[in-house]
Amino acid sequence: MAKKKPSKPGSNTIAKNRSARHEFSIEDEYEAGLSLQGWEVKAIRDGKINISESYVFLRNGEAFISGVTITPLNAASTHVVADPTRVRKLLLNRREIQKLEHAVNRDGETIVALTMYWKASWVKIKIGTARGKKLHDKRSDSKDRDWQRDKARIMKHSVR
């Protein structure tokens, strides 16, 4: 049996796109299912996934995600031709797809993948409509984050 990667107890997160929140300001978030093949689910269970370079696009009233890399396992995918970077279909409601189309076409936003996680036995991905940040926005965000960290330290020491 394959060894599982150690994770926090009760944590259902598979992968995070840490650069998404740094590069973009997230407006709305949506939960979507993924259309996966069997070997992909086995590789995801083993933690062989990367969503940092992924993006979502809409075509013919359907949502697809590209740039997700799922590295196939040697033992699980011997009888199939595994494409690690294939385009995968996102499973969303029609209203959610219409909202995404509106945000992309009219508001000039983009759709990025934020996190991938387990929900019961299903693989879900959290996507968000986002606007790109300018350099000064990134600086102010890092300044706010540093201030919150310093404030927590000050409060921790003043309570003692």
Rounded average pLDDT per 10-residue block, the chain, 160 residues: 51 86 85 90 89 90 92 76 88 93 86 91 91 75 83 81
Do the domain assignments include residue 25?
A: yes
Do the domain assignments include residue 143?
A: no
Domain count, the chain: 1
Phi, psi of 86 (to 5 degrees): -70, 160
41 is in which domain, residue-wise? 13-134
Q: Give CA angle at 28 (27, 34), nearest 5°.
A: 130
Using DSSP's 3-state secondary structure scheme, residue 100 falls into helix
Q: What beta strand segments (E) does 17-121 contain? A: 24-34, 49-50, 55-59, 62-66, 69-70, 88-91, 110-119
User: What is the pLDDT, as a whole number, of residue 84?
Assistant: 86
Do the domain assignments include residue 101?
A: yes
Do the domain assignments include residue 88?
A: yes
pTM over 0.85, yes/no: no
44, amino acid identity = I
Answer whether 37's CB lies under 8 Å from 68's CB. Answer: no
User: What is the pLDDT, as a whole number, of residue 64?
Assistant: 95
CATH of the domain at 108: 2.40.280.10
Q: What is the DSSP letter of 145?
A: H
Buried b (16+ CB within 10 A) or exposed e, 85-119: eeebebbbeeebbeebeebbeeeebebbbbbbbee
